[in-house]
Chain A
Amino acid sequence: MRVGLFIPCYIDQFYPQVAIATLQLLEKLGCDVSFPLQQTCCGQPMANSGFAGLSKGCDKNFVENFSGFDYIVAPSGSCVLHIKEHLEDQGHPKESERIRNNVYELTEFLTDILKVQHINASFPHSVGFHNSCHGQRGLHLSSMTETMLPAFSKPEQLLNMVKGIQLSNPERRDECCGFGGTFCVFEEAVSVKMGKDRVKEHEVNAVEYITGGDVSCLMHLEGILKRQGSSVKTIHIAEILNSEL
Chain B
Amino acid sequence: MAKHAALSEKFIADEPRTDWHDETLWFVRQKRDKAAHGLPGWEQLRELASQIKNHTLSNLEKYLRQFEQQAKANGITVHWAADGDEHNKIIHDIIRKHNIEKIVKSKSMLTEECHLNEYLLRQGIEVVDTDLGERIVQFRKEPPSHIVLPAIHLKKQDVSETFHKHLQTEKGNNDPQYLTEAARQHLRDKFIQSELAITGVNFAVAETGGFVVCTNEGNADMGAHTAAVHIACMGFEKIIPKAEHLAVFLRLLARSATGQAITTYSSHFLKARPGQEMHIVIVDNGRSKQLGRKDFRNSLKCIRCAACFNTCPVYRRSGGHSYHTAVAGPLGSIINPNMDMKANADLPFASTLCGSCSNVCPVKIDIHEQLWKWRQVIVAEGYVDTGKKTGMRGMAYILAKPGMYRFVGKMGRWVMRVFPFMINNKLNAWYKQREMPEAPKQSFRDWYQKNRGK
Contacts and interface: CB of A to CB of B under 8 A. Distances in A.
Contact of A148 (B5, B42, B351, B413): B42
Contacts of A41: 399, 405
Interface stretch (B277-285, B288-296, B310-318): B310-318
Interface stretch (B54-62, B210-218, B389-397): B389-397
A49 B452 contact: no
A10 to B, nearest CB: 8
A137 B375 CA distance: 20
Nearest to A172: B26
B434 A220 contact: yes
A190 B314 contact: yes
Interface string A53-64: 111111011000
B338 interface: no
Contacts of A194: 313-314, 317, 352
B359 A227 contact: no
A184 interface: yes
Interface stretch (B197-205, B221-229, B425-433): B425-433
B313 A9 contact: no
B68 interface: no
Contacts of A54: 392-393, 395-396
Nearest to A149: B43
Contacts of A170: none
Interface in B367-384: 368, 372, 375-380, 384
A152 interface: no
Interface residues of B, number: 79
Contacts, number: 218
B388 interface: yes
**Interface of chain B: mostly helix, strand, loop or mixed:** helix
Interface stretch (B70-78, B231-239, B327-335, B442-450): B442-450
Contacts of B33: 145-146
A137 B356 contact: yes
Interface residues of A, number: 73
Nearest to B440: A16
B91 interface: no
Nearest to A146: B359
A14 B440 contact: yes
Contacts of B22: 197
Contacts of B448: 19, 23, 35, 37
Nearest to A221: B434
Contacts of A178: 313, 352
Contacts of B358: 137
Main secondary structure of the interface of A (DSSP, over half): helix
A58 B18 contact: no
Contacts of B2: 186-187
Contact of B447 (A14, A20, A146, A192): A20
A223 B430 CA distance: 9
Given A35-B452, A54-B392, A48 B397 contact: no
A20 B454 contact: no
A147 interface: yes
A7 B436 CA distance: 20
B447 A9 contact: no
B352 A50 contact: no
A204 to B, nearest CB: 14
Interface centre among A19, A38, A134, A190 (most CB of B within 10 A): A190
Nearest to B40: A148
Nearest to B392: A51
A45 B395 contact: yes
B4 interface: yes
Nearest to B356: A146
A176 B454 contact: no
Interface of A: 7, 9, 11-16, 19-20, 23, 34-35, 37-41, 43, 45-46, 48-58, 60-61, 133-134, 137-138, 144-149, 172, 174-176, 178-181, 183-195, 197, 219-220, 222-224, 226-227
Given A133-B354, A186-B388, 4 more contacts: A9-B399, A12-B445, A50-B384, A227-B434
- 4 closest A-B pairs by beta carbon, nearest first, are A57-B400, A180-B352, A223-B434, A50-B379
